[in-house]
Structure formats: C-alpha cells, structure tokens
Structure 1
C-alpha cells in the first residue's frame, strides 16, 4: 500500500443522527461503515398515517444509507 491508509469511521445506528453523519461524511476521505439491526430506516412520525391506511408502508421506510455512500451491515449492539 502506498501513501497513508484511509481512516475508518463506524456509525452505530441508522436513526436520524446516524444517517445524517453518514451523509455528511460521504465526500470525506474516510471509509464509512453503517451498522444497524435492520436494513431500513423508519420515519416514525408517519406511523399513524400508515395505520390509518392514508400512506403506503413503502413511503415511510427507506433502505439505510441508500444515498450516504456508506457500507452497510446488520448487527445488534448493547451497552453493558
């Protein structure tokens, strides 16, 4: 390997903060890994509209990191 190695950033959780961080680092010279226990992000403020049949379930969840440029992986984490 020539030159300096790229830094690696691991983001745990694909909530609003995790997705915002992944998108902010999209053009940075780092390798980003986004870890979440599911492969999608759910926009919870719209759940009542899905329950009422006003909104399609496909409209309130989207794949994690689809536009972030991050490598995605599924995993769980816990603090002990």
Structure 2
C-alpha cells in the first residue's frame, strides 16, 4: 500500500512540475489571470502543494483579490 501511495505522489509530481514552470513564466509576463487558472489545475492534482498554495495567495493579491487571498491564508492555517 505504501508503495502505491509513493507511486501516486510521484505521478502527481510529474504532472505538477511542468505546470508550476508555466505559472512562473506567466507571472513574469504579468498574466496573472492565466497564472491563476494553471495554479488551480495544479491544486486539483495536488491540493496540498504548499508552494502552489503560496503562489495562489500572491497571485490573488496581484489581481487585487485581497479578500480571496486572505481567506486562502486563513484556511491553510487551520
């Protein structure tokens, strides 16, 4: 069972890594709306991806969605 979980995590990681790179590129281009779409895809694959959760809060702030960013911060502290 443990091996199966490790394989799932590895598979998720393989899917997430290229998407995270795309997020960084989009943010460099100041395309925060598209970045947020990719961030949400990453979080659907792996909802506990801490770096992506952090990036979502930053991206929401850059989109002036401060309330959403604050809610995301509070939810992840619980």
Specify the TM-score bucket, using the shorter chain as the normaliser: 0.3 to 0.5
Bigger RCO of structures 1 and 2 (CA < 8 A, at least 6 apart): 1
Q: TM-score, normalised by structure 1?
A: 0.35
Name the structure where strand makes up a greater proportion of residues: 1
Whichever structure has more helix as a proportion of its residues is: 2
